Structure 1
Amino acid sequence: MKDFWETHHWPQGEQRVHWHLLFDDQVAVHAFARAHAELIGRYSELTPVPTEWLHATIQSIGPLTPAQTDAIAAAARPVLRDLAPFDLEIGPAQAIHNGIVTALYPEEELADVFWALRRATEGILGAELLPPAPARFWPHMSLAYSNARWDADDLARALVRLRPARARMRVTRVALVEQQQLWRDKYTWSPIAEVLLGQGLQSGAELTVVPQSGGHRP
């Protein structure tokens, strides 16, 4: 396994805006992550993701001005209003080249959210300011990052044997966040906005903007 942090080193103090799927209030997802904690704790080469900072990155963006983040949040409202909320399944976990990640299903609905947000964000910033678009969106949630170069074959086999029950949740919203990197430790963020799915299919508010405070989210 490779060292995740060798290729994910942000300049000191830099903040980058991301579209995330968050799991703040998802008890089943937290329980699924905790079911792997004892195994992850056996390996000093792994840096676990704290439960309160579990997330699935939908789109990395980069450093932005407040005006740009406001425009991107507003642009996301119409592209998500006709995408219906959907059920998500989390798991199983697997060892990859730089850590432990969990699969997220169904991939098709998550890909629809990705491409909708990608187009909305490109419309504000231009495609050249975003990371290259993938040929296929790969949805996943990280449980741990590798902090060394090492042979993780035993870990991969242990994950196959562990296999706790998959977690399930309802995806109803996405979050625009300003994210910080705590070097070789974790990622934290401050919320900027939440955009609800399917608001064109029902009445109600479409966009909730969260005042930026510069601190951690609750």
Structure 2
Amino acid sequence: MRDFWETHRWPPGERRAHWHILFTDEPAVHDYARAHAPLLDHHPELNPVPIEWLHATLQSIGPLSPAAATAVAEAARSALCETEPFEIEIGPAQAVRYGVVLALSPETAISQLFWTLRRATESVIGTKAMPPAPKVFRPHMALAYSGAQWDHDGLSHALVALRPPRPRITVTRVVLVHQAQTWRDKYHWTVIAKIPLGRSPRPCSRQ
């Protein structure tokens, strides 16, 4: 496993807008993360994500002015007006190149959400202002970041053996945040906007 922080260091004080699925009100997800905590704590090379900062990143955007953030949120609100809430399953955990992540499924529904948000954001700030689009979006959520370069074979085997029951939750909204980085520790943020999925009281607008 490689050192996540060496390749993901942000300029001091920089804040970047992101689209996230958050799990603040999902105790089953918290319990699932806690079930892995003793194993993760056994490896000092890892920086586990605190329960209150668990998230699934849908789209990294970059720095946004307040006016641009408001416009991006409104574009997403219109774009998601007819996207209904959907159920996802979280897990299993797996050790990857830069840490430990939880799989999210079904990938198709989450990928569609990603592309909808991507197009809505591009409609406001332009394609060139966005990070390059992936050929395929692979949804996941981070459980721990690696803080060193080390052999994680033992951890991989232990994760396979652990396998607590996987939680299922319903995604009812996406959240636009201004995200900051505490280097070699965690990400944290302030919320810009919460966008519900599905029809709102006002009619859907067409872009």
TM-score (norm 1): 0.92
Q: For residue 129 of structure 2, what is the aligned residue in structure 1?
A: 129
Deviation at 1:163, TM superposition (A): 0.4
Matched, 1:90 2:98: no
Q: For residue 178 of structure 1, what is the aligned residue in structure 2?
A: 178
Q: Tell me the distance in 2 between the aligned counterparts of 1:64 and 1:72.
A: 9
- Structure 2 counterparts to residues 11-26 of structure 1, below 5 A: 11-26=11-26
Identity across the alignment (%): 58
Q: 1:205 to 1:146 in 2, by over 3 A?
A: farther
Q: For residue 109 of structure 1, what is the aligned residue in structure 2?
A: 109
- Structure 2 counterparts to residues 76-87 of structure 1, below 5 A: 76-87=76-87
Output one character per residue of 1:166-195: Cα deviation in whole Å (capped at 9) or x when no partner: 011110000000000001000000000011
The alignment's C-alpha RMSD in Å is 1.2
Matched, 1:67 2:104: no
Residue aligned with 2:25, SS? coil
Runs of 5+ in structure 2 lacking a partner?
none
Deviation at 1:205, TM superposition (A): 9.6
Matched, 1:54 2:50: no
- Structure 2 counterparts to residues 149-168 of structure 1, below 5 A: 149-168=149-168
Q: Tell me the distance in 2 between the aligned counterparts of 1:187 and 1:66.
A: 20
Runs of 5+ in structure 1 lacking a partner?
207-218
Residue aligned with 1:36, SS? helix
Q: Tell me the distance in 1 between the aligned counterparts of 2:168 and 2:36.
A: 16
Residue aligned with 1:33, SS? helix
Q: For residue 187 of structure 1, what is the aligned residue in structure 2?
A: 187
Residue aligned with 2:87, SS? strand
Deviation at 1:204, TM superposition (A): 6.6
Q: For residue 45 of structure 1, what is the aligned residue in structure 2?
A: 45
Q: For residue 8 of structure 2, what is the aligned residue in structure 1?
A: 8
Where does structure 1 differ by over 6 angstroms across 4 or more consecutive aligned residues? none
Aligned-partner residue type, residue 127 of structure 2: A
Q: 1:176 to 1:158 in 2, by over 3 A?
A: same
Residue aligned with 1:143, SS? strand
Q: For residue 216 of structure 1, what is the aligned residue in structure 2?
A: none
Aligned-partner residue type, residue 190 of structure 1: T
Output one character per residue of 1:78-131: Cα deviation in whole Å (capped at 9) or x when no partner: 110111100110000000001000000111110111000000000111111111
Q: Tell me the distance in 2 between the aligned counterparts of 1:144 and 1:204.
A: 40
**Which of structures 1 and 2 has the larger relative contact order (alpha carbons within 8 angstroms, sep 6+)?**
2
Q: 1:205 to 1:56 in 2, by over 3 A?
A: farther
Q: How many residues of Structure 1 are paired with residues of Structure 2 in the alignment?
A: 204
Aligned-partner residue type, residue 123 of structure 2: G
Aligned-partner residue type, residue 68 of structure 1: A
